[in-house]
Amino acid sequence: MSKYTLEFEESLREIEEKIETVKSTGIKTGVDVTSTVQQLERKLEDKRKSIYKNLSRWDRVQLARHPRRPHSLDYIEMMCDEWMELHGDRYFGDDKAIVSGLAVIAGKSIMIIGQQKGRGTKDNMLRNFGMPRPEGYRKALRLMKLAEKFNIPIVTLIDTPGAYPGLGAEERGQAEAIAKNLKEMAIIGVPIINIVIGEGASGGALGIGVGDRLLCMENTWYSVISPEGCASILFRDATRAKDAADAMKVTSIDLLEMGIADRIIPEPEGSAHMHPKKASEMLKDVILEELAQLVTLNTDDLIENRISKFEKMGKWEEI
């Protein structure tokens, strides 16, 4: 598979193919192609820079969904000194679309809860494409309560195309499970950092997304509905997702401007999937930095600040 799969990466793919052709010609003919290759590689980097400087909203949506983009467990593996996954909601089952467990990062205990997408068909079936069911939200809450009991901070990694719209999920109270998390997370007495690492669609994302800080990795989106969903309802045409992404202003940058995200975590040149290790280091540094600030607050202040943060959200006028 080519490194470049997205439409806007087409010109990068072309240059890279050319480099390969020149290289193999060099090997075949014995002609020195070093300078040509260097020239092309410089061109590739320049092109990449110019593309990534001018990404459209839709480009970012696609990057957020890139099949090679690191998922929760990838970051966990790269960031943590220790990791022990804990399973199950103790009522119904274990939702594989949400992973959770005891993490140690730079010597600090942190409860991590993340939505987990799969890679490839089989893995995606197992992970239900990162779409949690009620038991996933209940597992998350169980472990957040456990963290609270021992004064352990919580980090949630948001990456979901939405809560699963299935028969069983409805029967087992998808709405109740999400609602309960929203209410409980508002008053959990330990720091909670929510980080959008890929996609953040709707209540399914928010179900693990209430906390003291909302951080968005650079190439991510987070909104009330997916661009496709919005397009099919409001434009009556799902193919107009690009327009819907613009209309709803869904990217990390938009959310920062709207005052919903607190901070954007930059990604390495060419997005997180090109340099996962680098991306995870940048993520880790920000987590540690934000936690260091939050742990200085006493519990009452922490909760009061959290509630007043959400209190201010929204735009209206008083006549």
Partner 1 sequence: MAEWFRRSADKIKTLDKRDTAEGLWIKCPRCAQVVYKRELEKNYHVCISCSHHFRINSSAYLKLLIDNDEYHGIAENVRSVDPLSFKGEKKYSDQLKAAQTKTGLNEAVRVVVGKINGQDTVVAIMDFSYIGGSMGSVVGEKISRAIDHARKRKLPLIIITSSGGARMQEGAYSLMQMAKTSAKLAQYSKDNGLYITILTDPTTGGTSASFAMLGDIILAEPNALIGFAGARVIKQTIGEDLPEGFQRAEFLVEKGFVDNIVHRRDLKRTITQIFNFFGIEKFQNSKVTEIE
Applying CB under 8 A, the residues found at the interface with partner 1 are 163-167, 169-176, 178-180, 182-184, 186-187, 202-203, 206-207, 209-210, 222-225, 230, 233-236, 243, 246-250, 254-255, 258, 260, 306-307, 310-311, 313-319
> In 10 A of CB 81, how many CB atoms?
10
Rounded to a whole number of angstroms, the minimum distance from the CB of residue 310 to partner 1 is: 4
Calpha distance 56→110 (Å, rounded): 35
Quick one: 145 or 183, whose CB is closer to partner 1? 183
Q: Sign (positive/negative) of CA torsion 90, 96, 98, 100?
A: positive
Rounded to a whole number of angstroms, the minimum distance from the CB of residue 211 to partner 1 is: 10
Q: Are strands 82-85 and 98-105 parallel, antiparallel or unpaired?
A: antiparallel
Calpha distance 103→109 (Å, rounded): 6
Calpha distance 166→58 (Å, rounded): 27
From the number of C-beta atoms within 10 Å of its C-beta (0-12, 13-18, 19+), residue 164 rates as buried
Rounded to a whole number of angstroms, the minimum distance from the CB of residue 158 to partner 1 is: 12
Quick one: 230 or 272, whose CB is closer to partner 1? 230
Quick one: 69 or 133, whose CB is closer to partner 1? 133
From the number of C-beta atoms within 10 Å of its C-beta (0-12, 13-18, 19+), residue 256 rates as middle
Rounded to a whole number of angstroms, the minimum distance from the CB of residue 10 to partner 1 is: 28
Rounded to a whole number of angstroms, the minimum distance from the CB of residue 271 to partner 1 is: 22
Quick one: 173 or 268, whose CB is closer to partner 1? 173
Rounded to a whole number of angstroms, the minimum distance from the CB of residue 248 to partner 1 is: 4
Quick one: 206 or 265, whose CB is closer to partner 1? 206
Quick one: 70 or 207, whose CB is closer to partner 1? 207
> In 10 A of CB 222, how many CB atoms?
25
- Indicate the SS3 state at residue 3: coil
Rounded to a whole number of angstroms, the minimum distance from the CB of residue 246 to partner 1 is: 8
Q: Which residues pair with 109 in a beta bridge?
A: 104
Quick one: 103 or 248, whose CB is closer to partner 1? 248
Rounded to a whole number of angstroms, the minimum distance from the CB of residue 154 to partner 1 is: 15
Quick one: 188 or 286, whose CB is closer to partner 1? 188
Rounded alpha-carbon distances, angstroms, from residue 148 to 41, 125, 185, 208: 51, 32, 10, 15
Exposed e or buried b for every residue in 117-154, given b needs 16+ CB within 10 A?
Answer: bbeeeeeeeebbbbbbbbbbbbbbbbbbeebbeeebbb
